[in-house]
């Protein structure tokens, strides 16, 4: 028997201004996208912004529903919109921002398991790393690839 170890690295920043210009623009877009949240049940507003290989940014926000499972997270709203509208373009990066009643939280909003799986699929489709940026007030995390959020990604392709 051998014990194996998985090493995960991510960067922590203390403000959006510390990010490089592209990431900063995407992080800001995620914060802006929070205004599109429809969250009458949780009141937790989440915005997401996807950057395509062309540089184009596609935004999404969480959409809740009285039949709870029918709602959708911000990340998948953004990724599915990007996938449907620009099917031939790779997704290179996604930024996420969230907070109660639309006020950016102090702790980064981390994507749920289902959203990580969808990120993984688009990363595989692109054949290149998809970076994930989580934005909070005074704390930003950047993961260079989805593997760091979903080790041992399932991949049947």
By CB under 6 A, residue 42 contacts ligand THU = yes
Tell which residue, 48, 103, 34, has the closest CA to residue 81: 48
Please select the residue that binds ligand THU; options are 30, 33, 58, 64, rule is CB under 6 A: 64
Q: Is 44 in the site for ligand THU (CB under 6 A)?
A: yes
**65 is a contact residue toward ligand THU (CB under 6 A):** no
Residue 111 binds ligand THU (CB under 6 A)? yes
Alpha-carbon distance of 92 to 56, in angstroms, equals 10
Q: Which stretch binds ligand THU (CB under 6 A): 38-46, 84-92, 119-127, 132-140?
A: 38-46
According to CB under 6 A, which one of 12, 54, 106, 112 is a site residue for ligand THU?
112
Q: Interface with ligand THU includes 130 (CB under 6 A)?
A: no
Q: Measure the CA–CA gap between 30 and 109, rounded to whole angstroms.
A: 11
Cβ pair 89, 52 in contact under 8 A = yes
Q: How far is the CB of 75 from ligand THU (least distance, A)?
A: 6
CB 116 within 8 A of CB 109: no
**Residue 98 contacts residue 115 (beta carbons within 8 Å):** no
Residues with a known catalytic role: 75
CA 9 to each of CA 106, 141, 146: distance values in angstroms, whole numbers, following the listed order: 21, 10, 11
- The yes or no reply on residue 29 touching ligand THU (CB under 6 A) is no
Interacting residue ranges for ligand THU, rule: CB under 6 A:
39, 42, 44, 46, 62, 64, 71, 73-75, 111-112, 115
């Amino acid at each position: 028997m051998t014990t194996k170890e998985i090493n995960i690295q991510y960067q922590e920043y203390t403000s959006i201004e510390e990010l490089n210009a592209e990431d900063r623009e995407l992080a800001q877009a995620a914060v802006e996208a929070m205004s599109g949240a429809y969250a009458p049940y949780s009141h937790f507003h989440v915005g997401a912004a996807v950057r395509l290989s062309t540089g184009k940014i596609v935004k999404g926000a969480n959409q809740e529903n009285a039949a709870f499972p029918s709602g959708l997270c911000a990340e998948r709203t953004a990724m599915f919109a990007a996938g449907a509208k620009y099917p031939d373009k790779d997704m290179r990066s996604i930024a996420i921002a969230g907070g109660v009643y639309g006020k950016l939280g102090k702790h980064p909003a981390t994507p749920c398991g289902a959203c990580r799986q969808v990120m993984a699929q688009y990363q595989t489709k692109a054949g290149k790393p998809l970076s994930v940026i989580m934005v909070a007030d005074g704390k930003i995390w950047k993961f260079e690839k989805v593997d760091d959020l979903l080790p041992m990604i399932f991949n049947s392709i």
